[in-house]
Structure 1
Amino acid sequence: MNRGIRKVGGTVVVLLLVLIGQLTYLQIIDAANLDGDPRNLRSVLRDFNRPRGEIVTADGEVLARSVRSDDGTEFEYQREYPARGLTVQVVGYQSFVVGNVGIERTYNRQLSGRAPELRTLGDVLRAKETTGTVVLEMRAAVQRAAAEALGEQRGSVVVLDVRTGGIVAMYSNPTYDPQPLAGHDTQAVADVFAALSADPAKPDLPRAYREIYPPGSTFKVVTSAVAFDAGTATPTTVFPPLDALPLPLTDNVLRNFGGATCGGTVFEAFVVSCNTVFARMGLDLGTRFPPGLERFGVEGPPPPLDVFPGAARNTGLEGADYRTDTPKYAFAGIGQGTVATSPLEMALVAAAVATGGTVLEPRAAREIRAADGAVVEAFAPRPWKTAMTPATAQALNAMMRAVVERGTGTRAQIAGVAVAGKTGTAQNSTGSPHAWFIGFAPADAPRYAVAVIVENGGSSGSEATGGAVAAPVAARVLEAALTP
């Protein structure tokens, strides 16, 4: 009998210890995650009934703020988005009905004042409400230039500060107005969200970092870097002139744009964007190609990004067996076939050349400020990957400069500034080719990298090329970025 009682007592003690451990975990260790979870209704209600910090650009323009509500609902505050659709794909929105996205989600604890670094002992003792301000790397003038340059065309523009990884501009079209989603009428918000989700144009899709596309000839930057570092080619390696390259294991051929015949050195082939040369380089790389793609972030985990829900995963040659899938390596060499990347990823590719080979983590937020304006957290540049050697980056810098000076990218020129870049005209399954441009400026002392995609060639349709359609957009945006 005593043994049975002891056994039951021991079991009760174990269960109590488990319960105490779970309560400790929920109350202390995981409290921050639970508090910031948008499914936590009590937390969400509290957030809507207290002040919330601002989201501002690097140059001080307010993109999100909270004001006292007078709509007769139980909510004391209304979130406002003065820039509307211009910045929604970075800033996101705070919604009682459908939750938070973007910066509003990533930095919810800071904006709501629940982050420990924002609360002094006096605040805690007096139960004083406090908030944090999120300062972005975005510059309002550059963001507007991106929207204006893209116009009504579908596509995206990304501008990075190559010295920090800061996102100076990130814009996609079509876009949408977040203000109705921040409303307090639950049915009205639900209706707006349903209509937005059902829109075939997908305005709620932040194309700049959540959509992937074949990058076309802009990917020749990656192919060149991997080949140079692998030792399978150099800028002076000569390839025979061809109009079409026979593809191994098939009866098919890969042709140059417009049926042209081209060859010569890798440098000159890059300037005129010769497909047969870079397809051959992809074949020559063979099994060395996928590890090179991983060094850029094209294969493997996506780029880390502090804008919820994060960046899309790019695709390269994952799962392709060189012995049986050989043609895929040729198509990868020219950014076609299985290769698909986000505009953000291609901006990182351009930035890697500009930095001498290092890929920095892209970041939208620059710092967090307390209510009194004091900086409580500043985000320092963080290396993510090493894409290439400095010598290879230097060679690509010269090649990309030549593209803009006398090759396919002359429409990216800026008066008085040396621009380096690469054009792309990417075949795809959705219609006319996508027009691409990636690059950086000034080429001799890089500060900003850019990636532009105009889906299906925009207003130029099937006649579009990256040089004619995307390069002028890039020039306009880079010029804005370089303007103090």
Structure 2
Amino acid sequence: MNIKENKKILVLLVFLIVLFMSLVVYLSYFTIFKASDVSNNAANRRGALQEQSIKRGTIYDRNDEVLAYSDGEKGNYQRHYTYPTIYAHALGYYSKVQGKSGLEEKYNKYLSGQDGNRVVKEIKAFFDKSIDPNSGDSLKMTTDTNIQQKSRDLLDEYGEQGAIVVMNPKTGEVLSLVSYPDFNIQNIDADSAAIIERNKGELFNSATQSLFAPGSIFKIITSAAILESGINQNYTDTGEESFGGLPIKNSNQKVYGDVNLNTAFTYSINTYFANKAVQIGNKKLGEVSEKFMFNKKIDFDLPVAVSKFNYEKAESRALAESAIGQGLVTTTPFEMCLATSAIANGGKIMKPYMVSDIVSTDGSSIMKKEPEVLSEATSEENANIIKNMMISAVNKGSGKPAAIRRAQVAGKTGTAQLTSEINNAWFVGFAPAEDPQICVAVVVQNVEGLGGEVAAPIAGELIDYSLKQVNK
């Protein structure tokens, strides 16, 4: 073999190596960087066919009650929901026609067995016949189905629209998350057209997605800013004060005279909070609100709309309105439950979660969540001061209808005016005040009553019931 032929072979060899390496790089690119896009592409039927060949994983509540399961023959599995209405927004649905929503969508790769552990499962199944490699992983939720049912029943009884969030303030576990009106996830294929035609917002999760003016419950955050700023907390109330040409008045035109922060919070004196907010300035109030997770994306098992406080250019008029929960402030019930949990938990907001564990078919834990701090919203000292003011608001102020015999409730009412006669009624609170186990946020939309008249009684009944459940 001459030198010329050797060169040809060498060139061919180099060409084949380059071609092979190019193929490796190309396949690696799609495997590592584009796998998710390819898998989720609507034109790619491979993922859908794989899902249909897998028995979808079971979803349980915190007490191991089955919430969702699949049965049937391979290739024709059917999804079933034990509580198809009360978990419509918290759990979501899986449908071959309508697709996926909620946790069914968020954790689809685990539930459908597409999480990359398929080969491992098949190897384990070869040695242990009790393991089914053709089944998806299971989810364990933090929710308590009894509290979930009670939340939904109360909204059904008291209003046509609203939302409730119940949390453990010490851990961030969501015990209940309800948006009303709801729908039947078991019948989503048959009912979807009628739901859309009714246009009542049944598919929309108001607990995490609707942005409302919070009304006076925002005074919790304004109070934290006042305490942090160190300004003089005394004030002489005349019943009305003007800010940039905007008159701020107290509810029922009341005049309170000489007051401090505790009195102003207890009786929800609008003029006080508007005046003090202007004193401390937009930057301080804005910075404190952001520690309470306003203007911040919240990482959660479901999508959460970002609560807004556009404070940067707020002058006295807008700042005065915002301090009492109107103006530039909009928020979700979920966010206000988190903000309230900071007061219940010594100033710390815990990272919220609704799925505590993902369990493989062999019983091993794939992703077990543990409590972690999300934000140091305020100091423990200031949190305790605000907690005592919230106790006073329930014992002496408009929060009285939330009081229960079982425990001391700490809370705050809010009334966000939509028109001269129609409001969104709010209540946020926690109990027992001395050792909080339950934190709630309740909003009832489009009602004639005030927060203390509509939302506080719901919250009181729900807190009482929830404490009984968690202490069984």
Same fold? TM cut 0.5 = yes
Aligned to 1:171: 178
| Separation (CA, whole Å) in 1 of partners of 2:20 and 2:364 | 45
| Separation (CA, whole Å) in 2 of partners of 1:18 and 1:242 | 79
After superposition, the Cα gap between the structure-2 partners of 1:266 and 1:193, relative to the gap in structure 1 and judged at 3 Å, is same
After superposition, the Cα gap between the structure-2 partners of 1:23 and 1:196, relative to the gap in structure 1 and judged at 3 Å, is farther
The one of 385, 402, 406 equivalent to 2:375 is 385
AA at the equivalent of 1:466: G
| Separation (CA, whole Å) in 1 of partners of 2:37 and 2:438 | 35
Asked whether the 8 Å contact 2:308–2:329 carries over to 1, the reply is: yes
The one of 280, 296, 313 equivalent to 2:306 is 313
AA at the equivalent of 1:337: G
The one of 386, 392, 396 equivalent to 1:396 is 386
Matches within 5 A, 1:289-368: 289-299=285-295, 301-307=296-302, 310-318=303-311, 320-322=312-314, 325-368=315-358
Asked whether the 8 Å contact 1:141–1:480 carries over to 2, the reply is: no
Task: After superposition, give the CA deviation of every residue in 1:25-58 in whole Å (9 maximum; x if it has no partner).
Answer: 2224543565466774321232133201111110
Task: After superposition, give the CA deviation of every residue in 1:214-249 in whole Å (9 maximum; x if it has no partner).
Answer: 00000000100122112235xxx211112111112x
Matches within 5 A, 1:39-438: 40-68=44-72, 75-116=75-116, 119-120=120-121, 122-123=123-124, 128-152=133-157, 153=159, 154-181=161-188, 189=189, 192-233=191-232, 237-248=233-244, 251-263=245-257, 264-286=259-281, 287-299=283-295, 301-307=296-302, 310-318=303-311, 320-322=312-314, 325-428=315-418, 432-438=422-428
Asked whether the 8 Å contact 1:50–1:76 carries over to 2, the reply is: no
Shift of 1:122: 1.3
Shift of 1:13: 8.9
| Separation (CA, whole Å) in 2 of partners of 1:291 and 1:17 | 53
AA at the equivalent of 2:249: R
Asked whether the 8 Å contact 2:182–2:203 carries over to 1, the reply is: yes
Asked whether the 8 Å contact 1:38–1:99 carries over to 2, the reply is: no
Asked whether the 8 Å contact 1:423–1:436 carries over to 2, the reply is: yes
| Separation (CA, whole Å) in 2 of partners of 1:18 and 1:431 | 70
Which deviates more from structure 2 when the two are superposed, residues 42-51 or residues 350-359?
42-51
Shift of 1:109: 1.5
After superposition, the Cα gap between the structure-2 partners of 1:201 and 1:417, relative to the gap in structure 1 and judged at 3 Å, is same
AA at the equivalent of 2:181: P
AA at the equivalent of 1:444: E
Residue aligned with 1:388, SS? coil
TM-score by length of 2: 0.89
AA at the equivalent of 2:171: T
Is 1:475 matched up with 2:467?
no
Shift of 1:291: 1.2
Which deviates more from structure 2 when the two are superposed, residues 284-293 or residues 334-343?
284-293
Pairs aligned (count): 450
Shift of 1:357: 1.0
| Separation (CA, whole Å) in 2 of partners of 1:283 and 1:366 | 43
Asked whether the 8 Å contact 1:86–1:144 carries over to 2, the reply is: yes
Which deviates more from structure 2 when the two are superposed, residues 43-52 or residues 357-366?
43-52
CA RMSD of aligned residues (A): 2.7
AA at the equivalent of 1:421: G
Shift of 1:476: 1.6
After superposition, the Cα gap between the structure-2 partners of 1:230 and 1:312, relative to the gap in structure 1 and judged at 3 Å, is same
After superposition, the Cα gap between the structure-2 partners of 1:48 and 1:429, relative to the gap in structure 1 and judged at 3 Å, is farther
Shift of 1:430: 10
Asked whether the 8 Å contact 2:133–2:361 carries over to 1, the reply is: no
Task: After superposition, give the CA deviation of every residue in 1:334-362 in whole Å (9 maximum; x if it has no partner).
Answer: 00011010000000011010111111121
| Separation (CA, whole Å) in 2 of partners of 1:128 and 1:431 | 60
After superposition, the Cα gap between the structure-2 partners of 1:444 and 1:34, relative to the gap in structure 1 and judged at 3 Å, is farther
The one of 444, 449, 452 equivalent to 2:442 is 452
Shift of 1:106: 1.0
Task: After superposition, give the CA deviation of every residue in 1:71-93 in whole Å (9 maximum; x if it has no partner).
Answer: xxx95111111201100101101
Asked whether the 8 Å contact 2:54–2:136 carries over to 1, the reply is: no
Asked whether the 8 Å contact 2:85–2:182 carries over to 1, the reply is: yes
Residue aligned with 1:378, SS? coil
| Separation (CA, whole Å) in 2 of partners of 1:34 and 1:232 | 57
Aligned to 1:6: none
Shift of 1:478: 1.3
Asked whether the 8 Å contact 1:123–1:129 carries over to 2, the reply is: no
Asked whether the 8 Å contact 1:117–1:376 carries over to 2, the reply is: no
> Gaps spanning 5+ residues in structure 1: where?
1-8, 182-188
User: Higher Cα Rg: structure 1 or 2?
Assistant: 2
